[in-house]
């Protein structure tokens, strides 16, 4: 037969009637794009079935845009108590695998707290990753409903791990630590301005403001101290962390507030969460320098300060740092390595509930 192809070894023609024996070939039109008449391939065809329900929520100041994947249902509610109650009542029965909210500079906090309080599997996603995913999909337009749909599809595709939300006490401590950092930033900015002010009157204005900020900083430090020392669990963790040379009150309390996962993840995961895990850059024969980035910048900042102290006063880390420098590593690379090793030590201390034991 001309103009046809066979998908198996042909059987010699002995009779004119069709033969249904095993080994007979199916004759189909010789169209390379056709599957008519061919047997099912032993290799699974197509993508993975996405049956799980995922809800994406785009948060703005006054409204929440919601998209349900894969049913493509979309709606919006007000960002207030009534709207949140309506949202929980509507998406609760869906039994969603994940409810994703994009971080929007604080507007998402009350939404996440309300959904988490209702026992729903809520997760906060990184907006830069969501935007990169939208660009990969070819989504050039950007509106709130489109963003909600992209968030839902991003979570359905990447399946990020859903972790337990911090409790109210941890959120309070994190807010206190954040406010303390803001006060320090304002004090640094005012001192920089003071250096360039020609008028004595203006310098007195800066001095008055600095005095008020110092008073506020003292009050915040007292509030942080009362919060940490008033909790037996936090007090124990702080005491364990401070057994490591180079770790003081500020470092320990910042880690407790802004890295509550410390002691619960492995060394690679905790380094990545703090933005201290190097990522390799290479293509073909080209080998770029490994860099660090992402993660929680506030945690990385205090670990750098702690590493600068530890490389001088912590004997094992001092030896480690000197060995890196002697091998030709740049000073900043060696400091990053010390900070990462220090974080690994602190993670192991809280995991094992054992104080620092120098070798």
pLDDT digits (tens, 9 = 90+) for 305-352: 999 999 999 999 999 999 999 999 999 999 999 999 999 999 999 999
- Cα distance between residue 342 and residue 132, in whole Å: 32
- Cα distance between residue 244 and residue 259, in whole Å: 17
Whether the ω angle into residue 89 lies within 30 degrees of 0, i.e. cis, is: no
- Residue 5: strand, helix, or coil: strand
Q: Which pTM does this prediction carry?
A: 0.65
| pLDDT grade for 67, boundaries at 50, 70 and 90 | very high
Q: Of 298, 318, 323, nearest to 308 (Cα)? A: 318
What's phi and psi for 341, nearest 5 deg? Answer: -65, -40
Weakest-pLDDT range from 121-135, 273-287, 342-356: 273-287
Residue 246 exposure: Cα atoms within 13 Å on the Cβ side: 25
- Residue 172: strand, helix, or coil: helix
The tokens for 220 are 């915040």
Q: Does 245 have pLDDT greater than 50?
A: yes
Strands 27-29 and 54-59: unpaired
What's phi and psi for 14, nearest 5 deg? Answer: -120, -30
Weakest-pLDDT range from 85-94, 113-122, 184-193: 113-122
Instruction: Provide the pLDDT for residue 104.
Output: 80
- Measure the CA dihedral 336/300/130/120, to 10°: 130
Higher pLDDT, 10 or 49: 10
CB 333 within 8 A of CB 289: no
- Cα distance between residue 231 and residue 253, in whole Å: 12
Beta strand extents in 25-118 (DSSP E only): 27-29, 54-59, 63-69, 73-78, 98-102
């Amino acid at each position: 037969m001309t103009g046809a192809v066979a998908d198996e070894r042909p059987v010699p023609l002995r009779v004119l009637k069709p033969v249904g024996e095993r080994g007979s070939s199916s004759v189909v039109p010789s169209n390379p794009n056709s599957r008519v008449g061919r047997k099912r391939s032993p290799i699974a065809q197509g993508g993975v079935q996405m049956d799980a329900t995922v809800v994406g929520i785009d948060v703005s100041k006054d409204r929440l845009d919601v998209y349900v994947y894969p049913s493509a249902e979309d709606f919006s509610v007000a960002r207030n108590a009534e709207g949140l109650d309506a949202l929980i009542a509507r998406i609760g029965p869906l039994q969603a695998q994940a409810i994703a909210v994009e971080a929007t500079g604080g507007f998402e906090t009350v939404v996440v707290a309300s959904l988490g309080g209702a026992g729903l599997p809520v997760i906060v996603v990184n907006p830069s990753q969501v935007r990169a995913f939208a660009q990969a999909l070819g989504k050039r337009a950007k509106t709130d409903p489109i963003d909600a749909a992209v968030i839902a599809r991003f979570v359905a595709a990447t399946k990020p791990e859903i972790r337990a939300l911090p409790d109210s006490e941890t959120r309070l401590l994190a807010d206190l630590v954040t406010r303390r950092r803001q006060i320090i930033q304002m004090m640094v900015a005012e001192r920089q301005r003071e250096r360039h002010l020609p008028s004595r009157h203006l310098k007195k204005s800066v001095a008055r403001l600095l005095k008020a900020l110092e008073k506020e900083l003292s009050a915040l430090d007292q509030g942080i101290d009362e919060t940490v020392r008033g909790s037996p669990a936090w007090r124990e963790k702080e005491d364990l962390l401070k057994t490591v040379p180079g770790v003081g009150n500020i470092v320990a309390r910042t880690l407790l507030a802004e890295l509550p996962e410390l002691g619960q993840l492995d060394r690679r995961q905790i380094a990545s969460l703090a933005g201290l895990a190097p990522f390799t850059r290479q293509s073909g024969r080209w080998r770029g320098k490994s860099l660090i980035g992402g993660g929680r910048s506030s945690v990385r900042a205090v670990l750098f300060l702690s590493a600068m102290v530890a490389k001088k006063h912590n004997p094992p880390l001092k030896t480690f740092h000197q060995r890196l420098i002697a091998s030709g590593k740049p000073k900043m690379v060696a400091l990053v390595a010390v900070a990462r090793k220090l974080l690994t030590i602190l993670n192991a201390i809280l995991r094992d509930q054992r104080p620092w034991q120098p070798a």
